Amino acid sequence: IARYFSQYLALLVVFSFLFFSVSFVELLTVSVVSSFFPPPFVSSFFRSPFLSGARLSMAPIHIHPDVRTAVQRVLGVSMPG
């Protein structure tokens, strides 16, 4: 039982970290979505009003400028700072 509890606790820590560090989640989403879908679909997805509304409702997203420009160069997506 202790082993399962420790696994559950580790998952909980990971998910809370993912939830609170939005920029990491965003970069992860970008990489996952771009690996499954072609770039035009990804850029239209990231420009969609739903996502911009979701962005506004979240805490301010701070992404390192180098990372942001790299993502923009790969996907052709403009990411807010």
pLDDT at residue 51 in the model: 47
Percent of the chain past pLDDT 70, that is, above it, reads: 6
Please tell me the least confidently modeled range out of 12-16, 43-47, 51-55, 74-78: 51-55
CA distance 71 to 79: 8
pLDDT at residue 33 in the model: 59
pLDDT, the chain, mean: 58
Give the pLDDT mean for 48-63.
46
pLDDT at residue 49 in the model: 47
